[in-house]
Amino acid sequence: AQSVTQLGSHVSVSEGALVLLRCNYSSSVPPYLFWYVQYPNQGLQLLLKYTTGATLVKGINGFEAEFKKSETSFHLTKPSAHMSDAAEYFCAVSEPHTGFQKLVFGTGTRLLVSP
């Protein structure tokens, strides 16, 4: 079965620093890939997704992610962190072998941003 690994349950950065959140998946067949963000007391919101085409995907709030098939990775980056980026981030993949969407989520990474 598909699995998603997010390295680091917590990542701390200073405001203005680079944000890098790591995501690796296990499928040998390229899946569809998603990053979601969860702010306190809210549901998950889509940041960006990769389905087909360009491997560098731009999302909302200045985030982007690059699909690297050879590394089975889909890491999330942002050049300069803002305080408002503090949240929990989930990487998810859509199982490639089902006829419909079945999302498998990573365990999440909490981003802490200090002044």
Partner 1 sequence: EAQVTQNPRYLITVTGKKLTVTCSQNMNHEYMSWYRQDPGLGLRQIYYSMNVEVTDKGDVPEGYKVSRKEKRNFPLILESPSPNQTSLYFCASSPTGAKNQPQHFGDGTRLSIL
Chain residues in the site for partner 1 (CB under 8 A): 4, 9, 32, 34, 36, 41-46, 49, 51-52, 90, 92, 94-96, 98, 100-103, 105-108
Adjacent-strand bridge partners of 19: 78
How far apart are the C-alpha atoms of 41 and 3, rounded to whole Å? 26
- In this complex, which beta carbon is closest to partner 1, that of residue 32 or of residue 62? 32
- In this complex, which beta carbon is closest to partner 1, that of residue 36 or of residue 67? 36
CB of 80 to partner 1, least distance (A): 25
How far apart are the C-alpha atoms of 102 and 34, rounded to whole Å? 12
Burial class of residue 100 in the structure, from the number of CB atoms within 10 Å of its CB (0-12 exposed, 13-18 middle, 19+ buried)? exposed
CB of 17 to partner 1, least distance (A): 26
CB of 14 to partner 1, least distance (A): 26
Do 4 and 73 form a contact (C-beta atoms < 8 A)? no
